[in-house]
Amino acid sequence: MKTLSILSAACGVAFMGVASAANITVYYSPTCPHCHHAREFISSTLIYEYPQLAVTEVNVFEEANRPMFEDVLKKCEYESGGVPVIVVGEKCFQGYADFMQKDLREAVEVDLTDEDKAAAAENKKALEKDAEKFKQEHADRVNAISEYKVASKDEAKKK
């Protein structure tokens, strides 16, 4: 059990502050419409604009994920447990609306080089011109998104 706690704590640190701005963690509820829209924007737009982006989704309805969610609420200094909570590098966002897209892009770009930013701008133009074609050509980008799972006791023992 102690191994599981240590493993969970270590994984929590990875999602809460040591990540670069090219990493996003989305704390969501499967029943939240704002979460759905945020995840849709990230999965249909951001991962294609920024090829270096890695996204981790954390379902806060899963009991094992609650401590990590509570930790991120403290880190971000949010008093309510409203979702989504989106952490981009060191920047936190709570809730989601389309007007936030610019701010999310800016947060992603914090650690990027000028060359990476220029490539992202070109990717954005290509997406706007023909999103279906661009997404087909970059189909591997769907792998940029992963669902966070706490290791079971058996998995933790193996590690």
The domain spans of the chain are 2-158
Pairwise CA distance, residues 85 & 101, whole Å:
14
Instruction: Check whether 151 has a pLDDT greater than 90.
Output: no
Residue 1 to residues 10, 151, 154, Cα–Cα distance (Å): 14, 11, 10
pLDDT tens, residue by residue, 26-76: 999 999 999 999 999 999 999 999 999 999 999 999 999 999 999 999 999
Identify the CATH number of the domain defined by range 2-158: 3.40.30.10
| pTM for this model (two decimals) | 0.82
pLDDT tens, residue by residue, 81-97: 999 999 999 899 999 99
Pairwise CA distance, residues 52 & 119, whole Å:
11
Pairwise CA distance, residues 159 & 157, whole Å:
5
Rg of the chain (C-alpha set): 16
DSSP 5-49: HHHHHHHHHHHHTSS-TTEEEEEE-TT-HHHHHHHHHIIIIIHHH
Q: C-alpha 68: how far from its chain's center?
A: 14
| Long-range CB contact pairs, 151-157, < 8 A, 24+ | 151/4, 151/7, 151/8, 153/1, 153/4, 156/3, 156/4, 156/7, 157/3
Tokens coding 89: 């590098």
Confidence band (pLDDT; 50, 70, 90) for 150? confident
pLDDT at 30: 96
Question: 3-state DSSP call for residue 96?
Answer: coil
Pairwise CA distance, residues 119 & 121, whole Å:
5
pLDDT tens, residue by residue, 5-18: 333 333 444 444 44
